[in-house]
Each structure stands twice: as C-alpha cells, then as structure tokens.
Structure 1
Amino acid sequence: MIPLSWYLLLSLTLFTIGVLGVLIRRNAIVIFMCIELMLNSVNLALVGFSSYIGNEIGQMLVFFVMVVAAAEVSVGLAIVIAIFRNRLTVNIDEINLLKW
C-alpha cells in the first residue's frame, strides 16, 4: 500500500504548479486550467485522507467539489467568451473592464 505522505507530496506538487501557473500566466484560459489543477490536487488530498482514515465522507466531498468545479468552469468560460467577443483578446493584462 502506498503511504499517505506520497499522496500528500503529489498533491502539494500539483497545487504548487497550479499556483505558479495562476501567478505567472496571463491567459485567462490557462489560469482557469491552473485553478482546476489546484482543485484536483485538493481532491487527491481528500481521497488520500479518506482512504487513510477508512471513512467515505472525504470521497463524497470530492464529488461535491467536482460538481462545483464543473459549474465554475462553465460560468468562467462563458465570461471569457463574452469578453473575447468584445475585446478580441483573452490576455488578462489587456482586459480592463472597470476603466472608462
């Protein structure tokens, strides 16, 4: 059996890659993908803890997080498409909707 520390190390690595992607990249679609990577790393940690403890509540929580993530992606992608139709770019630096 694989120890819990390996799952947590992999989860931490994936979360770190996601945070770096959000901080470094300027493309809105890539930022959404990095946010999804962070959510999936949290799901991996939840499944690891749930398996280690022997309780299924963590795995049920993972399904809830996946449903919320799917809703977040659909709304976020719709917003990005609407911005792209108006501004013809998805670069975060070039989108200033609050400026006149």
Structure 2
Amino acid sequence: MVLGASGLILGWLTYLLVRGFLTRNVGQVIISVLVLLVYGGMISGVFPTSAGVSWQAHLGGAVGGVLAAWWLHRRSSHHRSRTVAVGRRPSR
C-alpha cells in the first residue's frame, strides 16, 4: 500500500537540490546544500530497506522532483531567451 506524504516530501527535497544546481545561483546552491545536510538521510528511503515502508513512493517522489526541476528550469531558460530575442531591435 502506498499512502503517506513521504513521497511528496522526498520529491520536494530532490526538486530543491536539483533546481539549485541547475540555476547555478549561489544562494540556491547554498540552500540546496543546507537542505541536503539536514534532510539528506531521507534519500536512503528510495531503496527497499524495511518491510512496510513504501520505497516505491519515495523513488517516485524523487524522480518526480528531479523531472520537475529539470522541466521548470528548461522552461524558464527558454522563456528568458525568447524575451531577450523579442526585445532586440532589428539592425539596419
């Protein structure tokens, strides 16, 4: 049975970690490292270690967090590059 918020929490954790490194923003990277230091032990929950613990939900949340960070980073990068291209005036 897959029930609980731990998969969601692990998804947020991996989202924060991956997003910080994708943006290469110093502040976000520092926050990512702090989150990893405080909650990094949760990452071991993606492996089947204990009976009755839904590692599938943990793994799904982690994969979802990585995909969401990648997709949102790619989307915002595309939006920024489009805005810059639209803002340019044609040269004569």
TM-score, normalization by structure 2: 0.37
Greater radius of gyration (CA): 2
TM-score, normalization by structure 1: 0.35
